[in-house]
Amino acid sequence: MIQAIVFLPLAGALIAGLLGRIIGHRTSEYITTGLLIVSALLSWVVFAGYWFAPETAEGAGHAEATKVFVLEWIHSGPLQLDWVLRVDTLTAVMLVVVNTVSSLVHIYSIGYMAEDPHRSRFFAYLSLFTFAMLMLVTADNFLQMFFGWEGVGLASYLLIGFWYKRPAASAAAMKAFIVNRVGDFGFALGIFAAWVVLGHLDFDGAFHAAEGLKDNLPVMNFLSWQFDAMTVVCLLLFMGAMGKSAQFLLHTWLPDAMEGPTPVSALIHAATMVTAGVFMVARLSPLFDLSATAMMVVMVIGGITAFFAATVGLVQNDIKRVIAYSTCSQLGYMFVALGAGAYSVGVFHLFTHAFFKALLFLGAGSVIHAMHHEQDMRNMGGLKDKIPLTYWMMIIGTLALTGVGIPGTPLGFAGFFSKDGIIEVAYAAGESTGYIIFWALVIAALFTSFYSWRLIHLTFHGKPRDAAHSHTAHPDPAHAAAETHHEPIDDDNTDHAHGHGHHGSAYDNAHESPPVMLVPLFVLAIGAVLAGVVFNDMFFGHTEHIEHFFAGSLVVPAELLDAAHHVPLWVKWSATVAMLLGFGAAWYMYMVDTKAPQRLAEQNPGLYKFLLNKWYFDELYDRIFVQPSLYVGNALWKGFDDWLVDKTITEGLGARVRDVTNRVVKLQSGYLYHYAFAMLIGIAALLTWAIAAGGLL
Amino acid sequence: MLLSVITFLPALGALVLLFITGKGEAVDNLSRWIALGFTVATAALSLWLWYLFDPTTTAFQFVENIPFSDSIGYRMGVDGISVLFIPLTAVLMPAVVLTSWGSITKRVKEYLIVFLILETFMIGAFATLDLAIFYVFFEGTLIPMFLIIGIWGGARRIQATYKFFFYSFTGTVLMLLAIMYMYWQAGTLDIRVLLDFKFPPEVQTWLWIGFFASFAVKMPMWPFHRWLPEAHVEAPTGGSVILAAILLKMGGYGFIRFSISMFPDASHQFSTFVFVLSIAAIIITSLIALVQTDIKKLIAYSSVAHMGFVTMGIFTGNIYGIHGAIFQMISHGVVSAALFLCVGVVYDRMHTREIDAYGGFVERMPRYAFAFMVFTMANVGLPGTSGFIGEFLTMFAVFQVNTWVAFFAAFGVILSAGYALWLYRRVIFGALTKESLKGILDLDAREAVVLVPLVILTILFGFYPAPILDATAASVNLVAQNFANAIGAASEAAVAAAGH
């Protein structure tokens, strides 16, 4: 069954990619989507097996993972790596997340991409991505995980750059790939270090070896320093996770990735690929658990990301970028949970987040579709009555993201359970760092609530502000580095159904999306409402329940979870209060006193620009990495290669050599034969002499 | 006999072509078909050789031995180190002949003759077991390559041939001296005997330097690489393909067969030096590749960077390093050949190598864009392509020897993504705005026949490298074992000396 789950999407990708032009767009769409739905249903069957697993006689925490051998891979001396599909609870959770969202995104794309002339290619890429992601989550060794890791990177590159005519899309695609490569640089070194320290690259072997090192942690020599070996391994691997999951310092690619079509943003840059880093740390929890230093770094980076991205999200005007920064921030939350040691809680947030964030993105796509590819929220407003179904779906997504619920009761949207769980874990992890991060997360929750409702108000409430209605003042200053984005429609296809929209008012022509786009929203909305309450017990309930559910596929720290369940009452309420404050502030600034945002921005121009320009990371990296690389490259080429080696050494060996050159230059090509013949004779003579002389001596 | 047949069949083809007289399109086409027939037959035989090769033994196979005298003789034979280079060479030759249809219009017959002779020299260099014969074949390849660039090359071909010859010949003289000295010491040039002959460590140092001079230029290692970009830029497509895919590999083959195996102490002694040059190759030439405006120069510089992984792997002396180096050479043979063929495709249409003159090919050439993407990803070392396995194994190997080297080599992984994707973006993506490109056509049948098998090989060996890794495993183990023993003995001697 697992073979079918993993390889059906690959089959779809190959059919649509290689035969797309023969079988046509419509057939390609149906084949890839159909295969993915089958794969998704099978995933739920696998997941149900773990969900309803009976209590085993052995007790919790010792179930063997199922492994299916596929093909031999790299065998070199003691290094024996194969393609093996591994299934355990953690994998099953990921299978459900990946395939559910992917199949819904496939369905949605049939509507969203209906006018694109390269649809079969698009669907081939989507299915290829799904295959790579499935290889990642079913990996049984580090290297297969690395394959999936880079494979999703490739698919992400292809999909971000799907609208290849736009320079911004190609640039964003390249940036995503290269920034991820920086992370993979660490990942690769981490794999090498893991081999040196543990002697195994298959997970079970490595975990077993790590278990043996527990009481006597080794040191290793890395870059001429003696380090705690497990810290080196984990931090290098975590560098990979930071790249893929767009954590602070390696986050710059994610907002730019919004250049890709919106269904791609929902699938890859919200629900699945960006959570690969979270999955990696959870999968390797037996290793990370052995290094307190690495765990601290994970937690701190997570906390910084959660806070940083939320601040930037406050002022963005592009509807997709707001959600992108929100994703970045929520990934930070997940890493805080992982860093605290509560792996199951991090995975829980990954699980719930997939539903409501995909819902928000696809909802945003529906808005963009309705507004004829307008993405700037300053040109929206009042869409509630035009696209009511999309509106309500976005509301559900927002309620789930901001974590609406009543603490102490099982009443709440999905994000309420998982996000509040993380905040409680951060508090319970304690010590000074834990408290600082706890407060950072609470403040980030306030910001999350603020920018989420700001998005709703700007888009759906108030009066329309599109070109035809633009007499109303912009709620945010329009001058400062406004980044307006329009999803393009391919030039080849200008006479599409929406063509008229460009001539009239975008608002007046706004229309609700077709059912093929709305049904996926409904399904995701169910997940956004129920995923928390239904699964809370398995991810963040009683320790025995978590252990029973995960059956040893990740580390479950009993003490920490106990402490998290018994935090003071004010801690349990803190996130809810923050959420309400954020909601209230957004309501006041965007519904009551709509001049307030502009006033605030004008009073604090420095801070506003700092946030609007995303803390100036892009500019900084360009200055310290990109430009110097090009400068050095040029200097080495023109200076060293051309000047020193070529002009000075090679050609400066004396007039004798130059004479030869000149004479050779004068040779006609006909004479080259003679020259070559002379060479041949020369070599033969030299050789004969050498052998003869040798023989004589 | 099989080895001799494979080696000299192309030369026989050249001989047949000599008897064709006349001029004109019909004669050119007849020559092409004859050359194609001979190269395809050679390729088929070389694949059969691969099939018959017994991977479980470390002994030389298909051995032929006709002594001329006590010391020198016609000796042929292959082991796991050399066997795969023969099918690599033979399989790429039909592709080279096929490109002559589109890109070579003058002196077609002569062009094919030169290539067929070159094929014999290349296969001979890999197949021979006599050092003197190896030297003749190894140096012999210079002459046809010299002619290919000098006659069918671009505008600055004379300077390029001069530089090519100057570098190669300087290296060779030193190797010849080393070979002579080895002969005086060992009394034979039979490679099998020399492999077991233990040269004293202080002698090894000098012999190592002699061979290094030749192979380092051939690879080419930084900073002896300067001839390569020039040669590539001026060479016709077929010349670039053979240069990148096969001729460079003779350097790597030489390092494994001679330097590591015959002079282990010196190799160990010099390993840090080689690592430094390898890192320089990986990082410096990658940075240079980043700023190139000429598409062939860019790929040539990236070849130097990829060969850096090969030298780095070889001089770790461990199984993974040597295994990875061989795999990287085979993979780079396929991928770099394919990249130069891809360049040839657009060069035949546009007659420019300036990257700025391209852009937006995906619009009119989707099949070409797909093939180019596969090879770009292999160049970048994406897992699932053949380019990954060699890079992974060599870095994996060097991490165990020296973490600094692995650390810097891993930077190459980032930089390769930089220059390769930047190239792809400028050539393939973007809007097709240039008037001159509006009418460009996608791959025709002939070009597809050349590129499709290479696409398949690139992906196949990425997922299932076993055919290559298994064929080489036993011999690689032996080389690594001998190297470890030699180092072990040397360090034991040092310990003993210190003890007294």
**Region A249-255: what's the mean pLDDT?**
90
Please identify which residue in the block is written with the tokens 């692995």: B406
User: Rounded to whole angstroms, how far apart are CA atoms A623 and B75?
Assistant: 60
Are B241 and B95 spatial neighbours (Cβ–Cβ below 8 Å)?
yes
pLDDT value at residue B432? 81
Are B112 and B100 spatial neighbours (Cβ–Cβ below 8 Å)?
yes
* 3-state SS assignment for residue A222: strand
Mark residue B360 as left, alpha or beta (left: phi above 0; alpha: psi -120 to 50; beta: remaining).
left
pLDDT value at residue A484? 45
* Pure H helices in A381-514: 388-402, 414-429, 431-460
Show Cβ contacts of residue A148 under 8 Å, excluding neighbours closer than 6 positions: A132, A133, A134, A135, A136, A137, A139, A276
Show Cβ contacts of residue A657 under 8 Å, excluding neighbours closer than 6 positions: A651, B166
Residues 9-68 of B with CB under 8 A from A: none
User: In which band, very low, low, confident or very high, does the pLDDT at A456 lie, cut at 50, 70 and 90?
Assistant: very high
* Structure token digits, residue B342: 């891809």
Residues pairing with A221 in the sheet: A226
- For the cut 80, the answer to whether the pLDDT of residue A218 exceeds it is yes
pLDDT value at residue A430? 75
10 Å CB burial of residue B498 (0-12, 13-18, 19+) is exposed
Inter-chain residue contact B383 with A686, CB threshold 8 Å: no
pLDDT value at residue A652? 53
Task: Measure Cα distances from B55 to A224, B46, B81 in Å.
Answer: 40, 15, 11
Q: Which of A183, A182, A73, A176 is nearest to A129 (CA)?
A: A176
User: Rounded to whole angstroms, how far apart are CA atoms A386 and A463?
Assistant: 12
Inter-chain residue contact B404 with A77, CB threshold 8 Å: no
User: Rounded to whole angstroms, how far apart are CA atoms A661 and A682?
Assistant: 19
Name the amino acid, one letter, at A499: G
* Structure token digits, residue A12: 């779809």
The C-alpha angle with vertex A241 and arms to A134 and A173, in degrees rounded to 5, equals 75
**Region A687-693: what's the mean pLDDT?**
61
Rounded to the nearest 10 degrees, the angle between the axes of helix A2-23 and helix A25-51 is 170
User: How much of chain B is helix, strand and coil, in % rounded to 5?
Assistant: 80, 5, 20
User: Rounded to whole angstroms, how far apart are CA atoms B150 and A669?
Assistant: 7
User: Rounded to whole angstroms, how far apart are CA atoms A517 and A525?
Assistant: 13
Q: Which residue of B has its CA nearest to A676?
A: B143
User: What is the C-alpha end-to-end distance of chain B, expressed in Å?
Assistant: 55
User: Rounded to whole angstroms, how far apart are CA atoms A233 and A213?
Assistant: 14
Q: Which of A177, A320, A312, A315 is nearest to A259 (CA)?
A: A320
User: Rounded to whole angstroms, how far apart are CA atoms B411 and B271?
Assistant: 20
Inter-chain residue contact B290 with A188, CB threshold 8 Å: no
Other Cβ atoms less than 10 A from the Cβ of A49: the count is 14
pLDDT value at residue A479? 38
Name the amino acid, one letter, at B160: A
Q: What is the pLDDT along chain B (500 residues), one digit of tens a residue?
A: 899 999 999 999 999 998 888 888 888 889 999 999 999 999 999 999 999 999 999 999 999 988 777 667 789 999 999 999 999 999 999 999 998 887 888 888 889 999 999 999 999 999 999 888 898 899 888 888 888 888 888 777 777 777 777 788 778 888 888 888 888 888 888 899 899 888 998 899 999 999 999 999 998 988 888 888 888 988 999 999 999 999 999 999 999 999 999 999 999 999 999 999 999 999 999 999 988 889 999 999 999 999 999 999 999 999 999 999 999 999 999 999 999 999 999 888 888 888 888 888 888 888 999 999 999 999 999 999 999 999 999 999 999 999 999 999 999 989 999 999 999 999 988 888 877 777 888 888 889 999 999 999 999 999 999 999 999 999 999 999 999 998 887 666 666 655 55
Q: Which of A130, A161, A337 is nearest to A253 (CA)?
A: A161
Are B272 and B401 spatial neighbours (Cβ–Cβ below 8 Å)?
no
Rounded to a whole number, what is the distance in Å from the CA of B430 to chain A's nearest CA? Answer: 4
pLDDT value at residue A476? 45
Is the sign of the CA dihedral A231, A232, A235, A241 positive or negative? negative
* Structure token digits, residue A443: 């403040």
pLDDT value at residue B342? 93
Nearest residue, CB atoms, A636 vs list B161, B167, B288: B288
Name the amino acid, one letter, at B428: I
Per-residue pLDDT tens over the stretch A287-337: 999 999 999 999 999 999 999 999 999 988 999 999 999 999 999 999 999
**Region A169-183: what's the mean pLDDT?**
91
**Region A119-124: what's the mean pLDDT?**
92
Backbone angles phi, psi at B291, to 5 degrees: -105, 10
10 Å CB burial of residue B151 (0-12, 13-18, 19+) is buried
10 Å CB burial of residue B169 (0-12, 13-18, 19+) is middle
Is the sign of the CA dihedral A570, A572, A578, A580 positive or negative? negative
pLDDT value at residue A690? 59
Per-residue pLDDT tens over the stretch A657-687: 555 555 555 544 445 555 556 666 666 666 6
Q: Which of B28, B30, B50 is nearest to B38 (CA)?
A: B30
Please identify which residue in the block is written with the tokens 């034969």: A673
Residues pairing with A72 in the sheet: A82
Q: Are strands A219-222 and A225-228 parallel, antiparallel or unpaired?
A: antiparallel
pLDDT value at residue A103? 95
The torsion defined by the Cα of A288, A291, A292 and A298, in degrees rounded to 10, comes to -40
Rounded to a whole number, what is the distance in Å from the CA of A678 to chain B's nearest CA? Answer: 10
pLDDT value at residue A394? 93
DSSP code, position A514: P
The torsion defined by the Cα of B13, B14, B17 and B23, in degrees rounded to 10, comes to 140
Show Cβ contacts of residue B355 under 8 Å, excluding neighbours closer than 6 positions: B292, B293, B294, B295, B298, B423, B426, B427
Model's pTM, two decimal places? 0.91
User: Rounded to whole angstroms, how far apart are CA atoms B382 and B363?
Assistant: 25
Per-residue pLDDT tens over the stretch A488-521: 444 443 333 343 344 456 777 788 888 999 999 9
Residues 629-668 of A with CB under 8 A from B: 629-630, 632-634, 636-637, 640-641, 645-646, 650, 657, 660-661, 664-665, 667
Q: Which residue of B has its CA nearest to A222?
A: B403
Inter-chain residue contact B396 with A224, CB threshold 8 Å: no
pLDDT value at residue A674? 56
Rounded to the nearest 10 degrees, the angle between the axes of helix A89-112 and helix A119-137 is 170
The C-alpha angle with vertex A307 and arms to A303 and A313, in degrees rounded to 5, equals 145
Other Cβ atoms less than 10 A from the Cβ of A396: the count is 25
Name the amino acid, one letter, at A338: L
Task: Measure Cα distances from A489 to A294, A384, A492 in Å.
Answer: 46, 25, 8
Nearest residue, CB atoms, A687 vs list B132, B377, B383: B132
Nearest residue, CB atoms, A71 vs list B162, B410, B464: B464
Show Cβ contacts of residue A438 under 8 Å, excluding neighbours closer than 6 positions: A423, A426, A427, A571
Q: B480 — contact with chain A (CB < 8 Å)?
A: yes
Are A209 and A198 spatial neighbours (Cβ–Cβ below 8 Å)?
yes
Q: Which of B189, B465, B480, B192 is nearest to A690 (CA)?
A: B189
Rounded to a whole number, what is the distance in Å from the CA of A245 to chain B's nearest CA? Answer: 18
Nearest residue, CB atoms, A182 vs list B289, B414, B469: B414
